[in-house]
Amino acid sequence: MEQVTLTLNERRYRIGESHHRAKLTDEQVDQMRELHEEQGVGYRTLAKQFNVSKRTVRDIVHYKTRAQTPEFWVKAKGGGQ
């Protein structure tokens, strides 16, 4: 089995792309924020580009979601799901 690294918050819950419901990678989240903040790309365009809802885009670019700071990293066997 493959080993994966899980990112955990201070309560030891999975965060970021290692969360079981994550649809975007951490890299995609960073890219989305950069496109919005530096180039002014709108919610609709980002939603289509990343195949998520406009609400998801809004929450990400306003740091309502995907804004936690990792506190721990652990190695786990399997696909990280």
Q: What is the pLDDT of residues 20-67, one digit of tens each?
A: 999 999 999 999 999 999 999 999 999 999 999 999 999 999 999 998
User: Over 60: is that where the pLDDT of 73 sits?
Assistant: yes
Name the domain count of the chain.
Answer: 1
The contacts of residue 66 (CB under 8 Å, 6+ apart) are 15, 16, 24, 26, 29, 59, 60
Model confidence over 11-31: pLDDT tens digits? 999 999 999 999 999 999 999
How confident is the model at residue 68, as a pLDDT? 87
Overall pTM > 0.75? yes
**Residue in the structure block whose two tokens are 């496109």:** 35
Per-residue pLDDT at 3 exceeds 80? yes
CB 4 within 8 A of CB 80: yes
- What distance in Å separates the CA atoms of residue 9 and residue 54, rounded to the nearest whole number? 26
What is the span of the domain harbouring residue 27? Answer: 3-77
